[in-house]
Amino acid sequence: MDHFADDSDDDLPTLEESFQVALGGGGRTLRPQRDKGKGKAVEPSGSGHKEAGRRALGRPRDRGKGKVKAKATSYSWEANYKRSWDAVQEDESGGLAGAVKSFLDAAKRRRTAAEASPVQRGIIRHLVLILDLSEAMTDKDLRPNRYDLTLQYAREFVAEYFDQNPIGQLGILATRDGVAEKVVSMGGNTVEHVQALANKRKWEPRGEPSLQNALEMARSSIAHLPSSNSREILLIFGSLTTCDPGNIHDTISALARDGVRVSVVSIAAELKVLKDLSKHTHGRFGVALNEGHFRDLIFEAVPPPELEASDAMDARAMRKRRRTATQLNNEGVDGGSNAEDEEDDDEFYDGTDLLSMGFPTLLPFITASKATLCSCHSKFRSGPAFLCARCGAKLCDVPTDCPVCGLTAVMSTHLARSYHHLFPVSGYKAIRWADVDADSPPACFSCNVSFPERSKDDADVDGHLQGQAQGSSADGYAASSRYRCPKCNNHFCIECDTFVHDTLHVCPGCC
């Protein structure tokens, strides 16, 4: 059993998942978790509300440093796996490989099931990532410590964010010593962002964080954006305290009024103010249980957020108001750009929101000796450059909003890569043994790996585990290892299912 615990690979079932199964099968209550890393059992009185918060969530925080002192109590991960055996049935040879595989499959399915139905999403994103770099981030409860791990995940997040949101923009702020500092200003350059986050020395954690200063700074950089852009803040907060100049609730109301969505990942504990913040602004809130869960919470912000019906209505209402104010009379006609329409480039056409975009012209590479003035930095610059399709201003980088005429400048490839969010591949349905017959394909349509043969007691395992892991057989994992595309009816293996939905975004059978 040791190798499950030592291996913190993402592919293994997380403790939380096995814990859910354990509750479902055994129905027993949790034993108190031991304090992580320090080898002490947690006293009932609690050692600060951080531990209390963790205990209340029933999360395993054991890190294995205190092996010597605490031999009497088993580690929480051991306890979890022991309980989970209640729900697991051995296969014919008495092994548990089948049961472990079912956990893995269920976890993979859960990841892919999330993005199944087509919804309206705001793909022109503006997100501000706020990092708490206060002294609390030097805590070592996440390995190697909170600060290093946060920077590492933030770098991975930036890369993934720009990969999935080619026409999105990102800014990064930090808060320490009671003030907010700019790490990288809003932009679309992956290299610039990753480089800024690689500088560990410069962003050494110290002092107290200031939630309000950071939020106000983030708000001021996105509140002015036109309504067709999604305005988001992702806050990674490790401290239990904040040092604010005024009333934080005023800031929260201002964020809600400006339509900024704030999602919070707390590393320490569930704080009321953070929860209120995300609730009032329709964001997400999560407390990191361990390194893997921390990463998952951050990466939840990668796919573009769904537009709520009210968001779309608000945006339309706001545009209509502006239009009435400027007394435009060419509404509903393909009027292109109008002098009075510079404030917001959107068109209102037959109930549909349209947004004007331009494909800029790529200039021949400019050598250092022939540097020309750019409109975005107001500096003489060499290297690759573009010309705005509408006004002809020189731009250093796309995608961007032209600083002169406000036109959104994108490449057609950016648009193509954003497309899959709007029309996701429909979720594959798990196939039960009962539905597998002689006519079923013998191998995966995509990778041609043979599906397993049905053995005697598979039927029981099928129903038993599906109910536990997912609740419904349609979304759950299939013991038959077959997943069917609802459109082309081809059968796929779980690896291809995950690959199609996470990476490819096109069904190989349908296209």
Find out whether 429 and 486 touch, Cβ atoms under 8 Å: yes
Contact between 446 and Zn ion by CB under 5 A: the answer reads yes
Of 36-44, 92-100, 318-326, 401-409, which segment contacts Zn ion by CB under 5 A?
A: 401-409
Q: Minimum Å distance from CB 439 to Zn ion?
A: 18
* Choice between 106 and 211, CB closer to Zn ion: 106
Contact between 336 and Zn ion by CB under 5 A: the answer reads no
Contact between 488 and Zn ion by CB under 5 A: the answer reads yes
Question: Using the rule CB under 5 A, which residue among 447, 452, 467, 474 binds Zn ion?
Answer: 447
Question: Using the rule CB under 5 A, which residue among 113, 312, 391, 415 binds Zn ion?
Answer: 391
Q: Minimum Å distance from CB 100 to Zn ion?
A: 20
**Which DSSP state fits 340?**
G
* Choice between 277 and 385, CB closer to Zn ion: 385
Question: Using the rule CB under 5 A, which residue among 493, 498, 500, 501 binds Zn ion?
Answer: 493
The alpha helices in 165-237, defined as continuous H runs, are: 190-198, 211-222
Using alpha carbons, select from 207, 184, 196 the residue that is nearest to residue 127: 184
Question: Using the rule CB under 5 A, which residue among 123, 405, 431, 500 binds Zn ion?
Answer: 405
Using DSSP, state whether 249 is helix, strand or coil. helix
Burial 361-372 (b: 16+ CB within 10 A, else e): eeeeebeeeeee
Contact between 431 and Zn ion by CB under 5 A: the answer reads no
Q: Minimum Å distance from CB 108 to Zn ion?
A: 13
Q: Minimum Å distance from CB 190 to Zn ion?
A: 17
Q: Minimum Å distance from CB 464 to Zn ion?
A: 25
Q: Minimum Å distance from CB 41 to Zn ion?
A: 47
Question: Using the rule CB under 5 A, which residue among 214, 388, 461, 469 binds Zn ion?
Answer: 388
* Choice between 410 and 444, CB closer to Zn ion: 444
List for the chain the helix, strand, coil content (%; round to 5).
Answer: 35, 15, 50
* Choice between 197 and 395, CB closer to Zn ion: 395
Q: Minimum Å distance from CB 155 to Zn ion?
A: 24
Q: Minimum Å distance from CB 402 to Zn ion?
A: 3
- What tokens were used for 387? 């010309």
* Choice between 70 and 366, CB closer to Zn ion: 366
The identity of residue 316, as a single letter, is R
* Choice between 92 and 365, CB closer to Zn ion: 365
Contact between 507 and Zn ion by CB under 5 A: the answer reads yes
Q: Minimum Å distance from CB 365 to Zn ion?
A: 15
Phi, psi of 113 (to 5 degrees): -70, -20
Q: Which residues neighbour 186 within 8 Å (Cβ) at sequence distance 6 or greater?
A: 126, 128, 169, 170, 171, 221, 222
Using DSSP, state whether 414 is helix, strand or coil. helix
Q: How many CB atoms lie within 10 A of CB 59?
A: 21
Rounded CA-CA distance 209/205 in Å is 10
Residue 373 host element (H or E):
strand 372-373
Phi, psi of 262 (to 5 degrees): -110, 120
The identity of residue 407, as a single letter, is L
Rounded CA-CA distance 474/297 in Å is 26
Question: Using the rule CB under 5 A, which residue among 57, 70, 273, 396 binds Zn ion?
Answer: 396
Q: Minimum Å distance from CB 165 to Zn ion?
A: 21
- Write the interaction track for Zn ion spanning residues 337-376; mark x where CB under 5 A is met and - where it is not: -------------------------------------x-x
Rounded CA-CA distance 170/168 in Å is 7
Question: Using the rule CB under 5 A, which residue among 410, 444, 461, 500 binds Zn ion?
Answer: 444
Contact between 430 and Zn ion by CB under 5 A: the answer reads no
* Choice between 117 and 352, CB closer to Zn ion: 117
Using alpha carbons, select from 2, 291, 293, 334 the residue that is nearest to residue 142: 291
Rounded CA-CA distance 202/111 in Å is 36
Of 187-195, 275-283, 323-331, 481-489, which segment contacts Zn ion by CB under 5 A?
A: 481-489
Query: CA gyration radius for the chain?
Result: 26
Using alpha carbons, select from 273, 263, 274, 265 the residue that is nearest to residue 297: 265
Question: Using the rule CB under 5 A, which residue among 313, 457, 487, 506 binds Zn ion?
Answer: 487
Find out whether 464 and 475 touch, Cβ atoms under 8 Å: no
Question: Using the rule CB under 5 A, which residue among 496, 498, 500, 501 binds Zn ion?
Answer: 496
The identity of residue 220, as a single letter, is S
Find out whether 377 and 384 touch, Cβ atoms under 8 Å: no
Of 22-30, 123-131, 441-449, 473-481, which segment contacts Zn ion by CB under 5 A?
A: 441-449
Residues that bind Zn ion (CB under 5 A): 374, 376-377, 388, 390-391, 393, 396, 402, 404-405, 407, 444, 446-447, 485, 487-488, 493, 496, 507, 509-510
